[in-house]
Structure formats: C-alpha cells, structure tokens
Amino acid sequence: MISTATRLLERLPGSPTPWSPWAREYARTPDRYILGTDASTFARATVGLLGLPARVLDLGCGEGRDSVFFAELGSQVTGLDSSPEGLEKAARLAMGRNVAVRWIREALPRLPVDGPFDLVYSCGSLHYVAREERALLFQRLHRLIVPGGCHAHVVFTDRYIHAEKGEVVDYFAPGELRGLFDGWTVLASREGLISCAGDGTPHVHSVEEVFVRCGGEAAA
C-alpha cells in the first residue's frame, strides 16, 4: 500500500512525533539480539565501497552489530543510541568480540560528539528524526567530517509503507536524502525495496541509500 499523504514535505500541524519502538523491544529481549549479531548488508556494502575508515560515527547503533563490525576491521568507532538496553547488548557484543567501542546514550537530533570522523553512518535510524529537524542535524554532521570523509546512510521512503510495532516514521521523500548532500561527491545511490520481518511478518520497506564523499572523485 502506497500512502500519498506521507509524500508531503512537511508534517501537518498536530501530526504525531516520530517514534521508534526498538528501544522497547531491546528491553523486552535482554537475552536475544533482535537483528542478530552479524553486520548488516548495508554495513558490508559501506566497507566494500569506501574502504576502511579510521574513525566512524554510527547513528542509532541499536544493539551494536554494525559498530562492532567496523571495530573488528580496525576502526575507532563511536556508537550512539537512545536505548540503555540496546547499548548494554552492544557493549556485551563488543566485549565478546574483543574490540573497544565508545558508546553514547542520546536521542537524535541531539549530538554530543565533537569528531572529527572519517565516516558518519546510519542504517535505518534517520527516518525517526522529524523532517523539520533534519536540515540542522545534517549541517552539524557535515561539520564533523574531515576533508575527504564520507557519509553512508539508508532510510525508509514513502514509496511503500509498512509500519512495525506502532512506530511513527517521518518518511523521506524519494531523492530527499541525496538532496541533503548538495555539492558532495556521490559515490553511489540507490532506491529500492528491502525485505524485513522485524515484526514477525515478512514484508518490505522502500529505501534510499547514499554513499557520498566530501570532495574527491566520483566512483566509476
């Protein structure tokens, strides 16, 4: 089902504040990693395209699987999430893999980090930031990147919608994410569908992915 209402570029007055159910789910499942402990496909694609950055900021790191993956490859990683239960799982995973990660408990768009970073990364978290707060957030994120540094993000778009566990998402319009990097070198971008079963029901989400660099040459 495609909703045209969510194609609006601004939320209507009185519309619900974006809300993620995953912090609640992390607390409900203390002995189980909801998404597993292996790195996401997006994290692996990020490494394949961008190589091995030295300093990584993982926004909405959840239970830590991608943060730990980057750390295992030798990166200095900072993982940020609002859920103490998620971060507790993340810290346990890092300890079990014998890597060090700096964990910060905070909810976006608050960003208590100074950088600099070689890579700012997120996998399915930025659509929980209200659209009217995104521009300022990205301005701050851009300033955290070193010259030649990169961003890699995947977000839900409103082409195809499946709400999970009562979540409230401020969906990106197609092309909106890429538009936040005007003047940056686009290494790769993609719109499409991904499979998911986070609520126990197989379904798909429409997504936009971007990999961009501050300066440098675009990939062939």
pLDDT digits (tens, 9 = 90+) for 134-148: 999 999 999 999 999
Residues 6+ apart with CB under 8 A from 11: 130, 131, 132, 170
Top-confidence residue, 162 or 218: 162
Q: How far apart are alpha carbons 17 and 170 in whole angstroms?
A: 8
pLDDT of the residue at 98 = 98
pLDDT at 200 over 90: no
Closest CA to 89 of 49, 143, 30, 141: 30
pLDDT of the residue at 15 = 60
Amino acid sitting at position 79? G
pLDDT confidence bin for 13, thresholds 50/70/90: low
Q: What is the β-pairing status of strands 117-123 and 145-156?
A: parallel
pLDDT at 217 over 50: no
Domain-embedded: residue 10: no
Domain-embedded: residue 73: yes
Q: For the CA atoms of the chain, what is the radius of gyration? A: 17
CATH of the domain at 67: 3.40.50.150
Q: How far apart are alpha carbons 33 and 140 in whole angstroms?
A: 31
Q: Name the average pLDDT for the chain.
A: 89
pLDDT at 162 over 90: no
pLDDT of the residue at 199 = 73
Q: How far is CA 67 from CA 32, 130, 135, in A?
A: 18, 24, 25
pLDDT of the residue at 4 = 30
Q: How far is CA 147 from CA 73, 119, 121, 177, 193, in A?
A: 22, 11, 16, 21, 32
Domain-embedded: residue 12: no
Domain-embedded: residue 2: no
Q: Is 210 helix (H, G, I), strand (E, B) or coil?
A: strand
pLDDT at 45 over 90: yes
pLDDT of the residue at 195 = 84
pLDDT in tens, 63-79: 999 999 999 999 999 99
Q: Contact, 154 vs 208, CB < 8 A?
A: yes
pLDDT in tens, 85-124: 999 999 999 999 999 999 999 999 999 999 899 999 999 9
Domain-embedded: residue 161: yes
Q: What is the β-pairing status of strands 76-81 and 102-105?
A: parallel
Q: What is the domain extent for residue 40?
A: 18-213
Domain-embedded: residue 207: yes
Domain-embedded: residue 1: no
Residues 6+ apart with CB under 8 A from 147: 214, 215
pLDDT at 164 over 90: no
pLDDT in tens, 167-193: 899 999 999 999 999 999 999 999 999
First to last CA, the chain: 36
Number of separate domains in the chain: 1
pLDDT at 218 over 80: no
Residues 6+ apart with CB under 8 A from 155: 122, 124, 126, 127, 172, 177, 207, 208
Domain-embedded: residue 52: yes
pLDDT confidence bin for 1, thresholds 50/70/90: very low
The H-or-E segment that residue 148 falls in is strand 145-156
